[in-house]
Amino acid sequence: MTQTDYRQRFVFDELDARGCVVRLDETIAAIQATHHYPDNLAQVLNQFALAATLLRDSVKINGSLTIQLRTNGAISLLMADCMADRRVRAIAEYDQEALAPNDPILLNSFGDGAVLAITISPEEGERYQSIVPIEHESLEQCLADYFQRSEQLPSQFSFHSTKDSALGIALHALPSEKVKDPALTSEHFVRLTTLLNTLTEQEALSLSSDELLTRIFHEESCRVFDVHKVEFGCLCSAQKSLEAVQALGEADVQQLIQEQKAEGNQSLIIDCHFCFQRYEFDFNELQNLIQNP
């Protein structure tokens, strides 16, 4: 029986390389259930969820990681978060009339206004952001290019996704230790990359983690670590919603209250765009908030 919603690391005993496998099923079902994206957008958004989970796995700090694409095109936003406890969420904003539902979504087709960014938000300290060049069609290629430029060590990503299921594998080269010759280490990684690229979508979405790694790297000594559960989760809360309202400033909050009253509303309702959790705030509570920050 195929495992669902997990992250599992692996390492090669005789080669300077490591990797991670992520599978998302119930997680992306929760993501898709709240918005009902068209199939082509759902497929790409699921890849962003895979990327956030795999990239978060490589971060050595406590905190969350966000990967997001902003454009001036039919898709204005693609964003996925992975928290330290492996809760994942994702969202897309798009023009339903402008997005062709059957056309492939190519990242390098959005023009110069598009920005792909990775943001790391530690639990303590300041967040920091890296901009990923968008010079390739797929998120896999863009991330591989980013790691090559920033880490000086090659990485490879393999994403397989439908609207209902997704699997991703990250492969990272390590500094030469087990193999002392850097040139030979490089050759080994090229071979591993070639093997990874032989994986078909049918295999990716039907085999267990152990079966996948055996299928891809059957001639290598590949050691796997414990499986960790991944699940859908959100960062929203009543307190964060109040803080967002407070950040508008007193004048804007007063205007917002007056607009809501004019519409006959007895309170301010804020819906989380990720999970559709609803938060309701009494007008008197908001007045106290802005008068006593």
Question: Tens of pLDDT along 220-266?
Answer: 999 999 999 999 987 777 787 777 777 777 788 788 888 888 888 88
Q: Residue 118's pLDDT band (boundaries 50, 70, 90)?
A: very high
- The whole-angstrom separation of Cα 61 and Cα 208 is 29
pLDDT over threshold 70, residue 113? yes
Q: Average pLDDT for residues 74-81, to the nearest whole number?
A: 95
Q: How is 93-124 classified by DSSP, letter by letter? A: EE-TTTS-TTS---GGGS-TT-EEEEEEEESS
Summarised one tens digit per residue, pLDDT across range 141-175 is 999 999 988 877 899 999 999 998 999 999 999 98
Residue 138 CA neighbour count, 13 Å, CB half: 13
Average pLDDT, the chain: 89
Nearby residues of 178 by Cβ (< 8 Å), 6 or more positions away: 13, 14, 15, 16
Residue 253 bridge partners (DSSP): none
Q: Residue 1's pLDDT band (boundaries 50, 70, 90)?
A: very low
Residue 204 bridge partners (DSSP): none
CB burial string 154-186: b at 16+ within 10 A, e below? bbbbbbbbebebbbbbbbbbbeeeebeeeeebb
The answer to whether 8 and 21 are in contact (CB under 8 A) is yes
- The whole-angstrom separation of Cα 54 and Cα 65 is 10
Alpha-carbon distance values, 169 to 66, 209, 271 (Å): 18, 10, 34
Q: What was the pLDDT predicted at 22? A: 97
Share of the chain above pLDDT 70, in %: 97
Nearby residues of 151 by Cβ (< 8 Å), 6 or more positions away: none
- Structural domains of the chain, ranges and CATH numbers in brackets: 6-232 (3.55.30.10), 238-291 (3.90.1280.10)
Q: Residue 12's pLDDT band (boundaries 50, 70, 90)?
A: very high
Q: What was the pLDDT predicted at 283? A: 80
Please tell me the least confidently modeled range out of 8-22, 26-40, 253-267. Answer: 253-267
Q: What was the pLDDT predicted at 165? A: 92
For the entire predicted model, the pTM comes to: 0.86
Token digits of residue 66: 């966000």
Give 281 or 181, the one with higher predicted confidence. Answer: 181
Q: Count CB atoms within 10 A of the CB of residue 115.
A: 13
Q: What was the pLDDT predicted at 279? A: 77
Helices (H), the chain: 26-33, 39-57, 139-150, 182-196, 201-204, 209-216, 238-246, 250-262, 283-291
pLDDT over threshold 90, residue 188? yes
